[in-house]
Chains A and B, each alone.
Chain A
Amino acid sequence: MSPLAADRLPDRPPGDAHYRLVLPTDLDLLAEAIELLLACCLEHGAIAPANCFRLRTVAAEAIANAMLYGNGNDPARTVTVELQVLSDRIVLSVADEGDGFDPAAVPELVSEEECHAAERGRGLFMMRHLAEQVIFNERGNAIWVTLTRA
């Protein structure tokens, strides 16, 4: 299989790098896609190690959710990932071809008992806590996550 590659788009605004990666729905591509996104970021300067970890974790959650729940794990559907590397922050957007969902309707795991028992339901919670900002579009099939670089 050929390695993944991200297209560098015209900088918007000049100096802020902008990449696009279109992935088929295939969870086996997840790890490679995440390392590619991190490499794109690192081309534009250092990122604090803790933020590399956050980027990997948040990207893994967002892309896996898009493939599994958004696209229903349908290999004919794609996930579009866009990455903007700005001087002070990174903005990652992930869009799927599904019908979307209502993020407000996802129950939060609150009590220790719930956290210990649940085998699912931590992804959105983790993204909200690891990122500076998490925004969904109205349809609920695209997410924008902002992380700091420093």
Chain B
Amino acid sequence: MAITVTSNPDQVTVVTVEGQLIVANRQELKQAIQDALDGGARKFVVDFGPTAYIDSSGLGALVSINKKVREAGGELRLAGLNEDLRSLFELTKLDTLFAISATASEALAGF
């Protein structure tokens, strides 16, 4: 997995997850968001456009991250889920927990 963190002029932190989000690397994503939170960021988009699959630990990490961001008064949006990943969120009822946009630009426009 490769994680890319970028900030745009609207102060939204976009975290792009390439490859897979699984038990072996979920901590990297948690740490990237935590570092941004510690640096004062409060608006986040996690872009799953280049993500092949997410396991249950990855989903659990997103639940945990979402909780931390909300507790800090921030907001987390997800974007770019392909049809298979979207079905995983529906299966686990997490589609109703997260704000999910088709693309990262749509998610950015939502802030």
A residues in contact (CB < 8 Å) with B: 27-28, 30-31, 34, 49-50, 53-54, 56-57, 60-61, 64, 68, 109, 112, 115-123, 125-126, 129-130
Contact = CB atoms under 8 A, between A and B. Distances in A.
A123 B1 CA distance: 20
Interface string B88-109: 1001111011000000000000
28 contacts: A27-B23, A27-B24, A30-B22, A30-B24, A31-B1, A31-B25, A34-B20, A49-B84, A50-B83, A53-B52, A56-B20, A56-B53, A57-B53, A60-B53, A60-B55, A61-B56, A64-B55, A68-B23, A109-B92, A112-B96, A115-B93, A116-B93, A117-B63, A119-B61, A119-B64, A122-B59, A123-B57, A125-B91
A54 B24 CA distance: 19
Contacts of B97: 115-116
Interface residues of B, number: 27
Contacts of B56: 61, 120-123, 125-126
